[in-house]
Structure 1
Amino acid sequence: MKYIEIEPLNRETTDSDCVRRCRIKRIDGDVQVDQTELWFQFDKSIVPPEDNDCDSYLLAVIMDAMKEERDVIVKGEVSKQLLSNLVEYQVAWYKWLPDLYSYINISAESIRDNSTPVSGAICAFSGGVDATFSVWRHSQAKFSHRSQDIKLCSIVHGFDIPLREETSFNNASKRAQETLKDIQLKLVPIKTNYREITTVNWEHAFSCVLVAVLSNFKKVAGTCIVGSSEPYDSLVIPWGSSPITDPLLTSGDFHVIHDGASHNRTEKVKEICDWKVGIENLRVCWQGDLKDRNCGKCEKCVRTKLNFLATGNPIPICFPDSNILDDIKEITLPNEAVRGEWRQIYEYANKNEVKDSWVGQLRRTLNKKSLIDKILPKGSPQREIVKNLTRKISGR
């Protein structure tokens, strides 16, 4: 039997921070083959979950276990509702990627009965379009009866900004704090070493791990808002976040809401243009050398600038000055998911009769075949062989 054992450890408290951690052991039969620690570090003013509460640890480990075909044994307490939801969560990923993920068994030393989550919501906020949209519409009660009372937001160090880049993270955090201050919301940073100990494709795991991180705040806010990646009419499957799987990350005392699938990215940008501070401080870039600002040249930066132009709004000052036509010419669309995002912008511009020159250049970019499409045409047996081989090698 191969399994992962999760052992919760006593939290540590410094002058300013609280560190929650667990020991993760990989065991083959009677032999321990690996041991590591997973930790979450945040301001000690936040009331943490109990030391033996393992919901966050299980959420962080589940996809590694599925990938490695290891059962999970939790030497602590887990929510009854979370255990139930993770059964269905696993089934979804197994159906989508049966060659990569397996269904595994989870057992816990103690199962916690469901309880009512505390009032209020928490939202991850790094300054991107999705989070800015969610924070704006909920804080301004723009979502009718579904609007949530946001108690605090959190920015995660160790996700898009590596732990070693402290200056970049501090600058990004300061920028996010300035944005949220405009609408009287508090930002609480949190650190985790998750990305340093996992082998799972980030595009598959990011939402599950985001909920794992934010569940450390469940005694302050019992609802977790996860900003959507794609709208209902253009869902990308499989993908780490979706209205199918995100709600299955809910536990008895931490309710997860997949938010924003009512809007595509361009429609979100149109809504947040009412928030001047929000758009001036957007941070969408993850490919640039400086992780605390937008490079203005990468695919995501250029795409976001086009989102603004498509809505008839100027490109905000958070992006360096450049010629948008030159920017578009330099872009190669890496995959169908990204191509779909660019197609949405083109269709939105056409629907709203935008006649600017960038629309024509965008059309030419969409019509340009990638190198792989030229060498391995879509639907060809050779392409399927390469695709499956690449998926197995890269963990996708």
Structure 2
Amino acid sequence: MKITEIKLVQEKECQRLSGYCGDFLLWYEFPLSMDITLKADAFVAASLIPAMATKQNIELADDIPVSAQLLSNLSKLQDIFSRWEAQLGVKLHKIDILGGQRVEALPVNDHVISFFSGGVDGTYTFLKNKDDIDLLLFSKGIDMQLDNVEQFEHAFEKNKVFLDAFEKPLVPIATNVRFFGHSLGLKWTQCFGGGLASIALAASVKTCYIASGFTYGKTIQEGSNYITDPLWSNGTTHIVHDGAEANRLEKIAFLATEPTAIALIRVCWQDKGYNCGQCEKCLRTMTNLRLLGLSTPNFPPLTDELVKNKVSKLRLYSVHDVDFLQENLALAVEKQDKVMVKALKKISRHYYVKHHIKGLLKQLS
């Protein structure tokens, strides 16, 4: 996979760092106020899983700067990800990174950043580390589609109002890195550690927090996790995987200690309003809120009727979603919420029956 035509273009309202990764034109847009430098690190990080999946060496022109430490870390990342291919759901091949001018560098933007979209994990990481974080990035193209301008602006304004109270700036950026893997048939969950890290590497910040979706109790073998995320660091930018000490229920309870945070929650990626209230992630969060005795204007109350007619009919397709269900089920049992217990057990039974049938058919084939 040749990485070519890396360039930085100053436009009227932003600056765009772009380059071809194979046939895919990958780009990142940042405000003019950020100092962006021309180097290959972001493109190499974003390309690693796609290149391993397609069994292509990464090839760079000899004169393009690339971090020597990042290249060293990529060898370890390949060792790890190639052992996780069964859980990742894709065959991964070890590859070589060829060419490039190996360099050591210092941060261009001496900032500590974190990604922020109003979600549970990102808000938890911000509140926990707010004294260290200098600014936050809200990326168009990650949490919602690139062309959903109206929804992005609405969410951006709500997030900005929240962060203004802490005197922390929210910086709008845009990138199509999420769609790079998609163009090769890969899922974002397989690629998003390198994808998110590539944004921080492109920005050349000092430190970047990536909020964890799972706890240390779960070794989640997917694109972003507490084992691999720090290895995307390049000597210029330090990547920190944060928040794995708390599960989702504990994070929401923590958010409730800051009323404006619980009122902000936006978890949906369906692009159907601020929260659609219908998808698995929305209903899972509404279940969290019900069991914790909390409310937010961004979701309707989860009544017994909705539990019976909506929650109980959810179908899970990932073992990770089952982990979230089990956390909710344990609390529902503790709270003696019989309606919720019945609904969650129904979802669990359906998943495991389907899972065992699928496994049996695989053995017989």
User: What TM-score do the two structures reach when normalised by structure 2?
Assistant: 0.90
Question: Which stretches in structure 1 are left out of the alignment for 5+ residues?
Answer: 26-34, 142-148, 387-396
Q: Where has structure 1 moved over 6 Å in runs of 4 or more?
A: none
Return the letter of the residue paired with 2:318.
N
Aligned partner of residue 118 in structure 2, secondary structure? coil
How many percent of aligned residue pairs carry the same amino acid?
27
Q: Is 1:20 matched with 2:17?
A: yes
- Counterpart residue number, 2:197: 211
- After superposing the two structures, state which structure 1 stretch, 361-370 or 171-180, moved more: 361-370
Using the TM superposition, give the Cα deviation of residue 120 of structure 1 relative to its aligned residue in structure 2, in angstroms.
Answer: 4.0
Correspondence 1:150-161 to 2 at 5 A: 150-161=133-144
1:274 to 1:376, Cα distance in 2 relative to 1, 3 A: closer
1:157 to 1:385, Cα distance in 2 relative to 1, 3 A: farther
1:120 to 1:304, Cα distance in 2 relative to 1, 3 A: same
- Counterpart residue number, 1:91: 79
Could you tell me how far apart the structure 2 residues matched to 1:114 and 1:217 are? 13
Could you tell me how far apart the structure 2 residues matched to 1:77 and 1:164 are? 32
Q: Is 1:77 matched with 2:65?
A: yes
Return the letter of the residue paired with 1:330.
K
Q: Is 1:224 matched with 2:221?
A: no
1:109 to 1:91, Cα distance in 2 relative to 1, 3 A: same
Return the letter of the residue paired with 1:240.
G
Could you tell me how far apart the structure 2 residues matched to 1:257 and 1:296 are? 31
Q: Is the 8 A contact 2:35 2:108 kept in 1?
A: no
Deviation track 1:174-198 (CA, whole Å, cap 9, x = no partner) reads 2221221222111111111223443
Q: Is the 8 A contact 1:117 1:254 kept in 2?
A: no
Could you tell me how far apart the structure 2 residues matched to 1:379 and 1:24 are? 37
Q: Is the 8 A contact 1:179 1:278 kept in 2?
A: yes
- After superposing the two structures, state which structure 1 stretch, 328-337 or 182-191, moved more: 328-337
- Counterpart residue number, 1:64: 50
Q: Is 1:294 matched with 2:275?
A: yes
Could you tell me how far apart the structure 2 residues matched to 1:111 and 1:56 are? 14
Could you tell me how far apart the structure 1 residues matched to 2:363 and 2:249 are? 32
Q: Is the 8 A contact 1:20 1:39 kept in 2?
A: yes
Q: Is 1:101 matched with 2:92?
A: yes
Using the TM superposition, give the Cα deviation of residue 114 of structure 1 relative to its aligned residue in structure 2, in angstroms.
Answer: 5.5
Return the letter of the residue paired with 1:20.
L
Aligned length: 354
User: What TM-score do the two structures reach when normalised by structure 1?
Assistant: 0.83
Using the TM superposition, give the Cα deviation of residue 349 of structure 1 relative to its aligned residue in structure 2, in angstroms.
Answer: 4.2
Aligned partner of residue 9 in structure 1, secondary structure? strand
1:240 to 1:384, Cα distance in 2 relative to 1, 3 A: farther
Return the letter of the residue paired with 1:303.
R
Using the TM superposition, give the Cα deviation of residue 228 of structure 1 relative to its aligned residue in structure 2, in angstroms.
Answer: 0.5
Could you tell me how far apart the structure 2 residues matched to 1:273 and 1:385 are? 50
Return the letter of the residue paired with 1:93.
F
Aligned partner of residue 310 in structure 2, secondary structure? helix
> Considering only aligned residues, what root-mean-square deviation do their CA atoms show, in Å?
2.3
Instruction: Find 1:316's aligned residue among 296, 300, 312.
Output: 296
Using the TM superposition, give the Cα deviation of residue 358 of structure 1 relative to its aligned residue in structure 2, in angstroms.
Answer: 4.0
Could you tell me how far apart the structure 2 residues matched to 1:66 and 1:355 are? 48
Using the TM superposition, give the Cα deviation of residue 374 of structure 1 relative to its aligned residue in structure 2, in angstroms.
Answer: 4.5
Could you tell me how far apart the structure 1 residues matched to 2:45 and 2:260 are? 34
- After superposing the two structures, state which structure 1 stretch, 109-118 or 186-195, moved more: 109-118
Could you tell me how far apart the structure 1 residues matched to 2:150 and 2:51 are? 33
Could you tell me how far apart the structure 1 residues matched to 2:53 and 2:229 are? 19
Using the TM superposition, give the Cα deviation of residue 164 of structure 1 relative to its aligned residue in structure 2, in angstroms.
Answer: 1.8
Correspondence 1:1-396 to 2 at 5 A: 4-25=1-22, 35-48=23-36, 50-51=37-38, 53-75=39-61, 76-97=64-85, 100-113=91-104, 115=106, 119-139=110-130, 149-198=132-181, 199=184, 200-218=186-204, 221-237=205-221, 239-287=222-270, 289-290=272-273, 293-311=274-292, 313-323=293-303, 324-325=306-307, 326-350=309-333, 353-370=334-351, 373-374=353-354, 377=357, 379-380=359-360, 382-383=361-362
Aligned partner of residue 217 in structure 2, secondary structure? helix
